[in-house]
Amino acid sequence: MTYLPNIIFAILLVAGVGFFVRNIKKIIRNIKLGKSVNRSDNSKARWKNMALIALGQSKMVKRPVAGILHILVYAGFIIINIEVIEIIIDGIFGTHRILSFAGSLYNFLIGAFEILAFLVFISVVIFWIRRMVLQIPRFWNKEMTSWPKNDALNILYFEMVLMSLFLLMNASDYSLQQLGVSHYINAGSFPVSQFIAAWLPQDIHTLELLERGAWWTHIIGIFIFLNYLYYSKHLHILLAFPNTYFANLNPKGQFNNLESVTNEVKLMMDPDADPYAAPADDAPEPEKFGASDVFDLNWVQLLNAYTCTECGRCTSVCPANITGKELSPRAIMMKTRDRLEEVGRNIDTNKEFKPDEKQLLNDYIAPEELWACTSCNACVEECPVNIDPLSIILDMRRYLVMEQSVAPQELNMMMTNIENNAAPWQYNQMDRLNWKDE
Partner 1 sequence: MDVPTMAEMMAQGKQPEVLFWVGCAGSFDDRAKKISKAFVKLLQKANVDFAVLGTEESCTGDPAKRAGNEFLFQMQAMTNIEVLNAYEVKKIVTACPHCFNTLKNEYPELGGNYKVMHHTEFLKSLLDEGRLTIEGGAFKGKRITFHDPCYLGRANSIYEAPRDLIKKLDVALVEMKRCKINALCCGAGGAQMFKDSEKGDKEIFVERTEEALERSPDIIATGCPFCNTMMTDGVKNKEKENSIKVLDIAELIANAEDL
Site of interaction with partner 1 (CB under 8 A): 250-255, 257-258, 261-262, 264-266, 268-269, 289-290, 317, 319-320, 322-327, 368, 371-378, 380-381, 394, 396-402, 407-408, 410-411, 413-415, 418-419, 422-425, 427, 429-433, 435-438
Question: How many Å apart are CA 46 and CA 246, to the nearest integer?
Answer: 7
Nearer to partner 1 by C-beta: 177 or 316? 316
Please classify residue 34 by burial: count the beta carbons closer than 10 Å to its beta carbon, then call 0-12 exposed, 13-18 middle and 19+ buried: buried
Nearer to partner 1 by C-beta: 104 or 250? 250
Report, in Å, the least distance between residue 41 CB and partner 1. 14
Report, in Å, the least distance between residue 428 CB and partner 1. 9
Report, in Å, the least distance between residue 438 CB and partner 1. 7
Nearer to partner 1 by C-beta: 330 or 398? 398
Report, in Å, the least distance between residue 38 CB and partner 1. 13
Report, in Å, the least distance between residue 148 CB and partner 1. 23
Nearer to partner 1 by C-beta: 94 or 137? 137
Report, in Å, the least distance between residue 249 CB and partner 1. 12
Question: How many Å apart are CA 238 and CA 233, to the nearest integer?
Answer: 11
Q: Which residues pair with 361 in a beta bridge?
A: 365
Nearer to partner 1 by C-beta: 182 or 254? 254
Could you tell me the CA-to-CA distances from 76 to 16, 109, 117, 209 in Å, in that order?
22, 12, 6, 27
Nearer to partner 1 by C-beta: 4 or 268? 268
- CB atoms under 10 Å from CB of 301, counted, come to 24
Question: How many Å apart are CA 172 and CA 198, to the nearest integer?
Answer: 10
Nearer to partner 1 by C-beta: 224 or 422? 422
Report, in Å, the least distance between residue 97 CB and partner 1. 49
The type of residue at 199 is W
* CA angle in degrees (0–180, nearest 5) for 384-386-391: 135
Nearer to partner 1 by C-beta: 210 or 372? 372
Angle between the 329-350 and 4-31 helix axes, to the nearest 10 degrees?
A: 110
Report, in Å, the least distance between residue 416 CB and partner 1. 10
Report, in Å, the least distance between residue 270 CB and partner 1. 11
- CB atoms under 10 Å from CB of 242, counted, come to 18
Report, in Å, the least distance between residue 236 CB and partner 1. 23
Nearer to partner 1 by C-beta: 151 or 381? 381
Nearer to partner 1 by C-beta: 37 or 72? 37
Report, in Å, the least distance between residue 434 CB and partner 1. 8
Nearer to partner 1 by C-beta: 161 or 402? 402
